[in-house]
Amino acid sequence: MSYNIAVDGPAGAGKSTIARAVAKRLGIIYVDTGAMYRAIGLHILRQGIDPGDERAVIAGCDNAVITLKYEDGAQVVCLNGENVNACIRTEEVGKVTSQVSALPAVRSRIIALQKELAAREDCIMDGRDIGTCVLPDADVKIYLTASSAVRARRRCDELAARGQTCDLARIQADMEERDYRDMHREANPLRQAEDAVLVDSSDMTPDQVIDRILELCGRQEG
Ligand code: DC
């Protein structure tokens, strides 16, 4: 049986940074499920499909094959064989992704891939519905969050570091809109699993969050 850690939480809570570091410390793989949905979002955007048009989105997904591979321990997400890691991190793709990932037909395809991967590999997987739906029997479940002001500030710093311009107020408003959509959609909304441990990183450094998660993993293993 593989060892699985589930990390859920809203955008900008630091899930990917933390999960990547924990994966490295434990020698397991990190699965960024948001990247898989973002690849679908990119596909829809590239085809000029209206993300609000459910039928067109579902039809548009028919010719999208999403695969994951690992290069030097880093996840590479491919869309029809093309490495799209560098194209999926824009706010534009994030917005479309939040809309298309609400569709059950889109989710069921991606979730099947995630379950398969987790059954095969020891991994830490982050997303919105990992503890509640994808890996209900995960060994450790974390719900990682932070205030929306702190999350928007972090996302802005991240974008600025990549040379992208940003408007803090707009990022915070977009983030709150996306949180609302992720938490209120019918298909697998973002929520804390009953057996997940809540970690609020608003006043914590990344190292403190990583140590807390390693401590929880140690407790569960021991
Ligand atoms: O974590 P992220 O910002 O890369 O996620 C992008 C979008 O994908 C986000 O709006 C929610 C959606 N998502 C999801 O519905 N389920 C997941 N397991 C991961 C992401």
| pLDDT for residue 25 | 95
Q: Whose CA is nearest to atom 4 of ligand 1?
A: 34
Percent of the chain with pLDDT over 70: 98
Helix (H, G, I), strand (E, B) or coil at 69: strand
The answer to whether 147 and 207 are in contact (CB under 8 A) is: no
d(CA 69, CA 11): 23
Please tell me the residue having the least CA distance from ligand 1 atom 8: 34
Ligand 1 pocket residue status of 75, Cβ below 6 Å: no
| Residue that the structure tokens 């702190």 belong to | 150
Q: Please, which pLDDT band fits residue 221 given cuts at 50, 70 and 90?
A: very low
Greater confidence (219 vs 205) lies with: 205
pLDDT in the model for residue 20 = 95
Q: What does the angle CA 203 – CA 204 – CA 205 come to, to the nearest 5 degrees?
A: 130
> What are the φ/ψ torsions at residue 111 (nearest 5 degrees)?
-65, -35
**Ligand 1, pocket-test mutation among 17, 98, 130, 148, most atoms within 8 A of CB:** 98
Ligand 1 site-directed mutation target among 4, 8, 37, 85, most atoms within 8 Å of CB: 37
